[in-house]
Structure 1
């Protein structure tokens, strides 16, 4: 069952604002139900009472509250279905003359829907489940919601709120007690006391901040100063022996949750917690900070190295431009000398030697060589400072790795105080492109060259996973990210079967090569039919896709539809969609207690998801205080809450019948949108088209228009990792009965050969709209011949031996992704060009070439497939316009510096965008329903071409008012009442 239809699970009362569609979909009676509810078993109002018991238990997992009123729309539906007269009965109690009859009906309803009650058998199982769920739950309220769904899935009647809450609190306390015990075991008390003493002490310097405040301060602009500050924090943490604390017994997400509590509250509030609570949170904070600062140091160091290369490249370009001018002038002089009839041959030779001296600057060599020489000679001090700063990192790897050998040599020379590279140094440890500089006569320059070579090699090796960092979360040892070798050896066959794959690479390749052969046959047929041509350079040319004609009926229908919908205030959109989907309940972990808290949640969404600050939002929402918004912002930043809220909005949007006309939910597209920001944000980069600093928001969009996944990225980086990661996260987070994505359309940035292979092994196709598609060559297995009709086609060769050699390691990686040991994004990020030489990379790259050939054959020869891909990607561009309307400014100078805050900005922005899409979908469905009742002509083909991303009728700015009165019972938690005893 879709999670949208599960939003009433745990409720014992229903909101009065239920719609007719919600009643029919969530509280409907089947023909068999109506037969069971007929006399003589049920008579009079008892029929209605039993029906209420049945539909409430089936939809909520609980028996209805005896005293709460029933929605009139539900009563009208039930009386109509049962053939009874309409009634205005106020509550369940009013339906029964005695309690015994109500208890009998509850028992009948349980038997009818197959529910059991919590007993001595299920209680231990529930306690065990709560123990597991508490490892990932953010709060007790979240744990209660998860336990309600756990019971509902197992057809067990939900016990009273107090019973569940007590059990959840106990599980949460046990989880925390286990964490405290792990801290006491792994962190020596003396070290913890030393850490506490230092953390709450004042740090020297202006401002008078404590060390704790300094440690939690987010980084500024990337650069040597920021890198130095980050390494100081790492040194401080290591001086406290934090790197020796082995806290693997505590799940990382729990450590981050405890750490976030320290970040969100003043140091004084943390200081006066109970001893156990304080030690647990401080130890978690210091441990997580070490992990994050290590990752940050590696990222900023890599960026600083790139900056040094850019500066050296700029100087080379300038020198080359100047030398070009000089050479033109010398050419004129040379011409004058050669053709001067008054000079003898000897005088011409002498003049030419004067013009071109033997010891003059040599312009031979490639531009890359000049860049390396400039880097070594002019950026040597900065390169040394960069390596010295990164010396605090513990870089690990195989002893035979060349980058580690270079680093070891540099450390030995530094210990001995040697300032030049010794003669006879073994240059084979470095890339051949550095050999000429390492063998040069100036040994100081040679040492500078070794430092530059080592820094470059370390960057590539860490990015490609050949080297790893101790005390890091993103640059861990690959062996720690994969299924342990012993477990893989025992269970690899069952794990591979679960992926619907085979451990025999030849069987898999047989199917792939068969598809390649069929695709090549399609190309041959298309050439013979004249559908495509191949020019003399081996490029394929096809006729461009002709846009579908704009039908007047579609345009008129769209205009009429949105005229009927009318103008809307964004604030009221939030309220109405929240009442239908319950996203504020997901953000808080419970329903809001009052209107002020609900307004604060909406204000937090505005602050995160738009360009406004908390102060600016409070100026737009009368009666709201900055402190309220700030507190709500911290609550929404909790792990998973914004993502869950977004999922609820999507489920509501997809529940509309009109959404099924746009797509089946099994295809998607993805693309990046840039949010302008300050250049002082360390993750900001210059966008090459608009020459503005920004951060990327990478979003995935279903074929039903909803944005189902998002993540912040560094712009201009390859986007294949987040593209595949979003689909895998979506497929694995869905219920088993939900549709899995089978196709993702991306542009050139979202593709690599390795990513296409990983995607296929994970069960979906990565389809790419390549730039300069006609120039992209096909690949065949080595030894296969090209058909005569395609002899002019540019064809590459694929090594099947490399695929066979790395097949099991590749399956090991994919199985580890599916088990959640690492994300698909982390895996693909390590399979980029920096991983060349790795057998896994080689296998994925070669397999990806074959899969790309299959895709290109289909793309060139199947116009419908080509049109579908372009339609998906063009829809994404339309959604970007709506996203710009929601977030039309830039990220503030002080915002987005923390990774969790940047994620909150990204997901809140996506949530607000989905609110507009869902509200438009709902109103479009209402208009269509009215037209059908009125016999207004409407064709489904017209509706397929009308999307829900229209926003000209929406007012996003100005004073914001929330019309909550019609939905107050759906949004606000009702006051506690005396509950009647339920049959347990």
Structure 2
């Protein structure tokens, strides 16, 4: 069992001051109440009172007593001296030199309730049980567990033991939780299943394990043949007949983490595991193997059917372009006929047809009508003629999909499910006799002209199949139809609190959300808030120079004057120049290695077995791998055969076993935490605000997890890296999405699933990333959604009080909120939000389920009505508050600047993503996010040092100027050329590189 989980720097900083406490920390932990003052008043001598107070407040803040006066920050001494009304020159050194300190520590233990860890068996038991619950639920990374254990001890007035004691305690609990999990999984297997798993590792028969290795393979090409091969693998998984029943009490996240190890580890590595871990690992694999295989099959099926339809639409468009000449001639003739009928007043009423045919021969008119009928199509018509030419391939593809992927349906997909069930029972899909009675409710409106006759029955069986193909791909996209079993493509409603579990937890959920279970209480509060907002904006409208009303075509709209560029003072320009010209020159390896040393994020990269790396110079190997991924250059440019840590086999081993989405997220969390502790960062924000936006990348043509968008990808396909950045410039989370987004399905998921210590409460996005439902769900969960409103002129405002008069806004606020719909579904709205808050439902799946525009559920309608209230409040604030608009603009500009830096870093291979697999894309773009955070943190460290030196030189920068600096700049960073992985000794020992002296015109 490893006993060292922290870096040397983290061990040295354990239970010690890490720089100056913040103002909030000083107010919370170092404030003296009357009880404290009474106790301190019994002491004699100013130095004794000062020393005792420092010991007491430090115990509350650190969970430990300082051992020397050099450890105590100046701000702590100043705060204590001010409260005790002592002379500023009071010396605390004499206190540490005397013997009273030992007696005072005993007094603090006795009178203030502090206990030693070794003496408090009850606290040790409670802490152990709490940590065990965290490990069992899946939160078992040792670094965060140690931090949480220390925080728990401090909160419960237990003095921290040595760091080794806490490390060993966490290590024992993690091992105990893992062992219990392994034994639990093994115990859930039948004797036959245990024997079959053991047979996989029979030394005399390697074919069985080779077959298992093939079952784990994921599809890698966007081709029908690849889908057929994968469906064969799916059938083989089912035929293996080794799907254990899910063990009760084992969290799904814990099971999935263990299964992920089995999916990506080499067979030899699994075979080398000791029992019961080996059997448990394979059992976890089979718990999720069919669901994961169905996910892969459903994803590939969705994109292949989309390619089929979109390819037919493109071919139909080309055919129409080629036939425009014929259509033009026919249209001109019919135009002449219409002109003759409408303008010639001398046509005899009883002979007008004869006169018409004299001027325009009847055969010509009939020919023109035939051409129009053949070429012209309704606006929503489907390219059936083109699809019919692909009947054989499409029929085989959809037959395999419907018969070999097991699916179920939500209420919105029941009609599609009925159509699929009917098709499964028909052997000849082209037979009209057999397809005549097929259910027609699932047929999309645009297909009905091709499929149905005047009686509403099927008249063209092939058109029916294509109509159901179109309906199925949309249903699987919205999860109206879902894979069963499935994970990513599974039932989005799975995990929703209901029945007894909801009844028992409803009060706790309401408290966690900060909402009332009484609908009228919340509705009355929102009604008052909306009415007050309207009246406030109306009262200020005449004095708001940015707001005006314009009427176009009898329709009144709002116009908000765009923001002007904010002027920069001379002092700001001088400070920016002073900072940027003093930054040390560095390359990506320098930045990674230095940030690695300062934050210890290398410890976050654990092996697939979740053990720490023990090889020599692991940090250098990790750095080279990260540089290759972030810069999109691969491993070849960083390989050095003469250096053991940079050999190809070492780098490949690190890349395959240590670079995973969860390790990247943990490393990012370490950087964000270190960044948050920098003094200069406080000038930029406290992390309470974040923004989300997408960065686009072209992907390989064979990539399954990719989508089209001519605006960004031309004729190719691509992915969007949707990422979130705090107002401290640090990246919090990211997700890879095929193609591009219209309404963001992942904003809330990024917010809820990000693992950093920051907890943003306000989220800003661009215009395209919102809908009414998102406003409502954010509000229910206690967050504020603040998108930029580029289309404010067309915004629709909503009201609750129909009788209220809001001046000029009466012409715009014509939307009426359906209060009864919210009231009737309030309990379900709280249940939905609580299920998401507690982690029972995935936010991305919920948003996908809610944003079905053509047939939303009643719950989705109620959520949208609630969202319209919140959206109207946002619009009113947006048009009334110029600083609010500028704050949104600043935050979105930060994100755009981060994306520009991302383009510079990700320069290799034309900046395109080369991995065709979803996991590879997530890992590569996750590494890019890690690189961006490293650059931002590295820049901020040296910006802080520059500010310090300027202050010492007698020219302290203004706080307002520091607040407008940005750590996102890169002129001093080299992204190209050769890569050096050596670190100066001073930097390796925790020091800083020397700042440059601006002594040339180029520097300025």
TM tier relative to shorter chain: 0.7 to 0.9
Answering whether residue 965 of structure 2 is matched by residue 965 of structure 1, we say no
Correspondence list, 1:325-344, <5 A = 325-331=325-331
Mark the CA change 1:874 to 1:19 in structure 2 (over 3 Å): closer, same or farther: same
The structural deviation recorded for 1:821 is 0.9
Mark the CA change 1:680 to 1:867 in structure 2 (over 3 Å): closer, same or farther: same
Correspondence list, 1:819-834, <5 A = 819-833=838-852
Consecutive unaligned residues in structure 1, runs of 5 or more: 1-5, 972-984
Correspondence list, 1:263-662, <5 A = 263-274=263-274, 276-331=276-331, 345=357, 348-352=360-364, 355-356=367-368, 361-363=373-375, 365-371=377-383, 374-375=386-387, 378-379=390-391, 381-397=393-409, 401-414=414-427, 421-440=434-453, 446-521=460-535, 524-525=538-539, 528=542, 531-537=547-553, 538=555, 539-588=557-606, 596-619=617-640, 623-634=645-656, 636-637=658-659, 640-662=662-684
What secondary structure sits across from 1:694 in the alignment?
Answer: strand
**Partners of 2:809 and 2:24 in 1: CA distance:** 56
Deviation sequence 1:458-516 (CA, Å, 0-9, x none): 34444444444322123443553212321212332342233121233333233333344
Q: Which one of 158, 177, 202 corresponds to residue 175 of structure 1? A: 177
Deviation sequence 1:386-436 (CA, Å, 0-9, x none): 342243222224689211211121112239996754435553454444433
**Partners of 2:75 and 2:361 in 1: CA distance:** 107
**Partners of 1:525 and 1:40 in 2: CA distance:** 60
The structural deviation recorded for 1:863 is 1.9
**Partners of 1:51 and 1:854 in 2: CA distance:** 48
What secondary structure sits across from 1:385 in the alignment?
Answer: helix
What secondary structure sits across from 1:190 in the alignment?
Answer: helix
Mark the CA change 1:843 to 1:76 in structure 2 (over 3 Å): closer, same or farther: closer
What secondary structure sits across from 1:720 in the alignment?
Answer: coil
Bigger drift between 209-218 and 678-687 goes to: 209-218
Deviation sequence 1:194-234 (CA, Å, 0-9, x none): 466579999999xx992233233343233423322332222
Aligned to 2:1000: none
Aligned to 2:689: 667
**Partners of 1:817 and 1:444 in 2: CA distance:** 43
Bigger drift between 398-407 and 849-858 goes to: 398-407
What secondary structure sits across from 1:674 in the alignment?
Answer: strand
What secondary structure sits across from 1:414 in the alignment?
Answer: coil
| Matched positions, count | 943
Correspondence list, 1:5-154, <5 A = 13=12, 83=91, 114-118=114-118, 119-135=120-136, 136-137=138-139, 147=149, 150-154=152-156
What secondary structure sits across from 2:276 in the alignment?
Answer: helix
**Partners of 1:482 and 1:356 in 2: CA distance:** 60
The structural deviation recorded for 1:762 is 1.1
Aligned to 2:775: 756
Mark the CA change 1:716 to 1:323 in structure 2 (over 3 Å): closer, same or farther: same
What secondary structure sits across from 1:673 in the alignment?
Answer: strand
Answering whether residue 874 of structure 2 is matched by residue 860 of structure 1, we say no
What secondary structure sits across from 2:380 in the alignment?
Answer: helix
Mark the CA change 1:223 to 1:780 in structure 2 (over 3 Å): closer, same or farther: farther
The structural deviation recorded for 1:350 is 3.9
Mark the CA change 1:523 to 1:947 in structure 2 (over 3 Å): closer, same or farther: same
Aligned to 1:219: 219
- Structure 1 contact 138–639 (Cα < 8 Å) conserved: no
Mark the CA change 1:107 to 1:903 in structure 2 (over 3 Å): closer, same or farther: farther
Mark the CA change 1:552 to 1:315 in structure 2 (over 3 Å): closer, same or farther: same
Deviation sequence 1:709-755 (CA, Å, 0-9, x none): 2222223134523212223345xx677xx7x4332110123212111
What secondary structure sits across from 1:427 in the alignment?
Answer: coil
- Structure 2 contact 672–933 (Cα < 8 Å) conserved: yes
The structural deviation recorded for 1:792 is 5.2
Bigger drift between 157-166 and 650-659 goes to: 157-166
Bigger drift between 957-966 and 552-561 goes to: 957-966
The structural deviation recorded for 1:38 is 14
- Structure 2 contact 599–674 (Cα < 8 Å) conserved: yes
- Structure 1 contact 522–857 (Cα < 8 Å) conserved: no
- Structure 2 contact 913–921 (Cα < 8 Å) conserved: no
What secondary structure sits across from 2:649 in the alignment?
Answer: helix
**Partners of 1:576 and 1:25 in 2: CA distance:** 30
The structural deviation recorded for 1:337 is 10
What secondary structure sits across from 2:856 in the alignment?
Answer: coil
Mark the CA change 1:131 to 1:954 in structure 2 (over 3 Å): closer, same or farther: same
**Partners of 2:880 and 2:73 in 1: CA distance:** 57
Answering whether residue 717 of structure 2 is matched by residue 705 of structure 1, we say no
Higher relative contact order (Cα pairs below 8 Å, separated by 6+ residues): 1
The structural deviation recorded for 1:811 is 1.3
The structural deviation recorded for 1:546 is 1.0
- Structure 1 contact 592–598 (Cα < 8 Å) conserved: no
Mark the CA change 1:835 to 1:460 in structure 2 (over 3 Å): closer, same or farther: farther
Deviation sequence 1:927-966 (CA, Å, 0-9, x none): 2222223321532222222211121112234322332633
The structural deviation recorded for 1:602 is 2.2
Correspondence list, 1:843-858, <5 A = 843-858=862-877
Aligned to 2:965: 946
Mark the CA change 1:21 to 1:127 in structure 2 (over 3 Å): closer, same or farther: closer
The structural deviation recorded for 1:918 is 1.6
**Partners of 1:562 and 1:113 in 2: CA distance:** 51
TM-score under structure 1 length normalisation:
0.82
Mark the CA change 1:601 to 1:204 in structure 2 (over 3 Å): closer, same or farther: closer
Deviation sequence 1:524-565 (CA, Å, 0-9, x none): 456655731222243322222111123333222211122233
Aligned to 2:746: 722
The structural deviation recorded for 1:877 is 0.8
- Structure 2 contact 697–913 (Cα < 8 Å) conserved: no
TM-score under structure 2 length normalisation:
0.81
The structural deviation recorded for 1:814 is 0.2
Deviation sequence 1:341-369 (CA, Å, 0-9, x none): x9994695443256247698445652322
**Partners of 1:716 and 1:794 in 2: CA distance:** 32
**Partners of 2:840 and 2:305 in 1: CA distance:** 31
- Structure 2 contact 742–769 (Cα < 8 Å) conserved: yes
Mark the CA change 1:325 to 1:113 in structure 2 (over 3 Å): closer, same or farther: farther
**Partners of 1:232 and 1:406 in 2: CA distance:** 24
**Partners of 2:937 and 2:40 in 1: CA distance:** 37
Deviation sequence 1:882-902 (CA, Å, 0-9, x none): 222222235999965555544
Aligned to 1:238: 238
Mark the CA change 1:108 to 1:852 in structure 2 (over 3 Å): closer, same or farther: same
What secondary structure sits across from 1:533 in the alignment?
Answer: strand
**Partners of 1:140 and 1:334 in 2: CA distance:** 79
- Structure 1 contact 921–948 (Cα < 8 Å) conserved: yes
The structural deviation recorded for 1:27 is 13
The structural deviation recorded for 1:52 is 12
**Partners of 1:366 and 1:498 in 2: CA distance:** 52
- Structure 1 contact 575–964 (Cα < 8 Å) conserved: no
Deviation sequence 1:900-940 (CA, Å, 0-9, x none): 54433333322221222122222222222222233215322
Bigger drift between 479-488 and 564-573 goes to: 564-573
**Partners of 2:494 and 2:54 in 1: CA distance:** 53
